[in-house]
């Protein structure tokens, strides 16, 4: 599905929402990173194509 928007409307939208565009790190980003690390480090992995699970867990 394609969304067609006029150039003038797009420029207006970008001007109004410019504070949300960029590399701002907020608390939800930090929480998501912490949650991902916690789940990845506490997960149990099986061997995969003869690669031991300890290598999969800590190096891949």
* Residues with Cβ within 8 Å of residue 48, at least 6 apart in sequence: 56
Residue 57 in contact with residue 45, Cβ under 8 Å? Answer: yes
- The least confident of 17-21, 22-26, 53-57 is 53-57
Q: What is the pLDDT of residues 26-58, one digit of tens each?
A: 788 889 999 988 887 776 666 667 667 666 666
pLDDT at 47: 62
Is the confidence at residue 22, as pLDDT, over 70? Answer: yes
* Residues with Cβ within 8 Å of residue 57, at least 6 apart in sequence: 40, 41, 43, 45
Q: Is the dihedral of CA 23, 32, 59, 50 positive or negative?
A: negative
pLDDT at 35: 92
* Rounded (5°) CA angle 57-27-35: 20
Length of the chain: 60
């Amino acid at each position: 599905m394609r969304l067609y928007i006029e150039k003038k409307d797009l420029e207006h939208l970008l001007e109004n929402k410019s504070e949300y565009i960029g590399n701002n790190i907020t608390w939800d980003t930090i929480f998501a990173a912490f949650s991902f690390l916690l789940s990845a480090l506490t997960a149990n992995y099986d061997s995969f194509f003869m690669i031991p699970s300890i290598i999969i867990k800590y190096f891949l």
